[in-house]
């Protein structure tokens, strides 16, 4: 049985939630492998809307096992709130359908506070973080002072671990003129939340190996988009984890040979939240129109997204660095009715044409897009479920995108409803 990795090929917000839900019906296990509760996935199932941040999208479907892998940083209070929110919508969460890796790192209240302190003091140099403590939690993980899920099992050992964390963070807080951490309060908070988290804890690398050997289909669900990858994204305006497909193996404890197909979720235009370069951005009436028609507001933050034309250069780059086999093209219907549609096909940097986004921050800020203008279409693509239902010019647009990004379209999404999807190639068929 094929195992599928789903990643965003732009800056996130590509519509992964719907596609992962669509695929999860064919999967047995759905795994989150990086990020934290800064991710936001919106699912629309039978007219009911579910908003998820930490929980894998498959958790809302019966008989699916959801796994939060070791590559995820977990805010236990946010996780409990999300579980309770789903319960209020009639979705029961138990050990039967949710497991959490014992070696996943916890996000503590002090991490969110540090995030906010830094952004407040950064001024024009701010990154645009969601202030949820994601970055500081990853810093503690790499700094080998993190508190992990397994540490909640024996609360007697927590004071020493909290002291180790405080040594680092109190030094930072003193330098910022902020109050030091109350270690006793943090201990009480962790002691109280532990019984709500520990029932889901498991040795997830072993669990996934058993599922794979038993022939179960596993779907690996990424958060954010590839252009926010800590190594391959628009650094420093990136997230604090690797968002490329290779992280599915590291962030879940499964070998890379178990990853059979990589699907890149790709919006038919481009959006971005927060700071950082955006070569094809339309900071004008066209950008506002795309935002209004596409309802471009962040699921988690509520922040309005910056909007622009499709950037084939960036998507092609994401396809190469993530090993994407096929894309799921989403929100094509938002382009309905446009007389002309532009596509970014290259860049100019200091007068010279280039075919990729450079890594240097200064160079990224200076690149100028080279646009190609295509004919639009008057008919609607919304709700189409076969190629025959699409306007001829819309089909031409999709085919031209395939040529520019050097990758085939495997799925085409024509509305937020899961069944409004044209299947060209089933990723699980590999």
Is 202 tagged catalytic? no
Tell me the pairing of strands 4-8 and 261-267.
Answer: parallel
Number of H helices and E strands in the chain, helices first, is 12, 20
Q: Which residues contact 133 (CB under 8 A, 6 or more apart)?
A: 36, 73, 75, 107, 108, 109, 110, 111, 112, 113, 114, 115
Q: What is the pLDDT of residue 261?
A: 97
3, 23 contact by CB (below 8 A):
no
Measured distance CA(370)–CA(279) in Å, rounded? 9
pTM over 0.85: yes
Share the mean pLDDT of the chain. Answer: 93
Q: How far apart are the first and last CA of the chain?
A: 8
Strands (DSSP E) contained in 256-302 are 261-267, 270-272
CA distance 409 to 278: 24
Query: According to the model, what pLDDT value does residue 1 have?
Result: 63
- Is the pLDDT at 354 greater than 90? The verdict is yes
Assess whether pLDDT exceeds 70 at residue 215.
yes
Looking only at the bridges linking them, the beta strands covering 98-101 and 310-311 are: unpaired
The answer to whether residue 312 scores a pLDDT higher than 90 is yes
Please compute the mean of the pLDDT values over residues 143-171 and round it to a whole number. 96
pLDDT at 119: 82
- Residue 301 in this model has a pLDDT that exceeds 80: no
Indicate if the alpha-carbon torsion angle 410, 58, 98, 101 is positive or negative.
Answer: positive
Q: Which residues contact 91 (CB under 8 A, 6 or more apart)?
A: 50, 59, 60
Per-residue pLDDT of 91-119, as tens digits, reads 999 999 999 999 999 999 999 999 888 88
DSSP 148: B
Burial classification of residue 323, based on how many CB atoms lie within 10 Å of its CB (0-12 exposed, 13-18 middle, 19 or more buried): middle
- pLDDT tens, position by position, 358-403: 999 999 999 999 999 999 999 999 999 999 999 999 999 999 999 9
Q: Are 294 and 37 in contact (CB under 8 A)?
A: no
Distance CA 93, CA 343 (A): 43
Catalytic pick among 37, 41, 111, 169 = 41
pLDDT in tens, 167-186: 999 999 999 999 999 999 99
- Model confidence band, residue 46 (pLDDT cutoffs 50, 70, 90): confident
Higher pLDDT, 264 or 429: 264
Assess whether pLDDT exceeds 80 at residue 129. no
Q: What is the 3-state secondary structure (H, E, C) of 65-95?
A: EEEECCCEEECHHHHHHHHHHHHHCCCCCCC
Tens-place pLDDT, residues 279-291: 999 999 999 999 9
Confidence at 2, pLDDT banded by 50, 70, 90: confident
Give the model confidence (pLDDT) of 131-142 as tens digits: 789 999 999 999
Instruction: Give the other-Cβ count within 10 Å of 423's Cβ.
Output: 14
pLDDT of residue 392: 96
Phi-psi region of 143 (alpha: psi -120 to 50; beta: other; left: phi over 0): alpha
- pLDDT number for residue 255: 94
Q: Which of 13, 75, 229, 311 is catalytic?
A: 13
Q: Give the tens place of pLDDT for each residue, 216-271.
A: 999 999 988 999 999 999 999 999 999 999 999 999 999 999 999 999 999 999 99
- Judge whether 41 counts as a catalytic residue: yes
Q: How confident is the model at residue 126 (pLDDT cuts 50, 70, 90)?
A: low
pLDDT(128) > 70: no
> pLDDT digit string (tens) for 317-326?
999 999 999 9
Q: What's the pLDDT score for residue 299?
A: 58
Residue 39 pLDDT > 90:
no
Q: Of 149, 247, 252, nearest to 209 (Cα)?
A: 252
CA atoms within 13 A on the CB side of 395: 11
Residue 99 near residue 72 (C-beta atoms within 8 A):
no
Contact 4, 260 (CB under 8 A): yes
Q: Which two tokens stand for residue 263?
A: 């699907």
């Amino acid at each position: 049985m094929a195992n599928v990795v789903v990643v965003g090929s732009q800056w996130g917000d590509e519509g992964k939630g719907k596609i992962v839900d669509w695929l999860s019906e064919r999967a047995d296990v759905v795994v989150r492998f990086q990020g934290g509760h800064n991710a936001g996935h919106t699912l629309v199932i039978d007219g009911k809307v579910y908003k998820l941040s930490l929980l894998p999208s498959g958790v809302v479907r019966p008989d699916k096992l959801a796994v939060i892998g070791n590559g995820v940083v977990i805010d236990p209070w946010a996780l409990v709130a999300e579980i309770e929110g789903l319960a209020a919508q009639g979705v029961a969460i138990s050990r039967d359908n949710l497991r959490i890796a014992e070696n996943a790192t916890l996000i503590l209240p002090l991490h969110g506070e540090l995030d906010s302190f830094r952004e407040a003091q950064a001024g024009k140099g701010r990154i645009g973080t969601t202030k949820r403590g994601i970055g500081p939690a990853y810093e503690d993980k790499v700094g080998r002072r993190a508190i992990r899920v397994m540490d909640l099992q024996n609360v007697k050992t927590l004071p020493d671990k909290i002291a180790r964390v405080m040594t680092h963070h109190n030094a930072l807080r003193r330098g910022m003129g902020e109050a030091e951490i109350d270690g006793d309060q943090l201990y009480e908070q962790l002691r109280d939340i532990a019984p709500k988290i520990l029932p889901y804890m498991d040795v997830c690398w072993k669990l996934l190996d058993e599922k794979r050997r038993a022939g179960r289909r596993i779907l690996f669900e990424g958060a954010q988009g590839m252009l926010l990858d800590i190594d391959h994204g628009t650094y420093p305006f990136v997230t604090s984890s690797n968002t490329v497909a290779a992280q599915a193996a590291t962030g879940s404890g499964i070998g890379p040979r178990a990853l059979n197909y990589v699907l890149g979720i790709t919006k038919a235009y481009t959006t971005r939240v927060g700071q950082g370069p955006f070569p094809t951005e339309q900071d004008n009436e066209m950008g506002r129109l795309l935002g209004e028609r596409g309802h471009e507001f962040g699921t988690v933050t509520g922040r309005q997204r910056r909007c622009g034309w499709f950037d084939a250069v960036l998507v092609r780059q994401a396809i190469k660095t993530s090993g994407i086999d096929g894309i799921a093209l989403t929100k094509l219907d938002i382009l309905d009715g446009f007389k002309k549609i532009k596509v970014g096909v290259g860049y100019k940097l200091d007068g010279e044409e280039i075919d990729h986004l450079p890594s240097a921050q200064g160079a990224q800020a200076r690149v100028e897009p080279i646009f190609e203008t295509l004919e639009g279409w008057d008919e609607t693509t919304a709700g189409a479920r076969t190629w025959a239902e699409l306007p001829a010019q819309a089909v031409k647009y999709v085919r031209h995108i395939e040529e520019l990004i050097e990758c085939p379209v495997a799925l085409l999404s024509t509305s937020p409803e899961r069944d409004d999807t044209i299947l060209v190639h089933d990723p699980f068929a590999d």
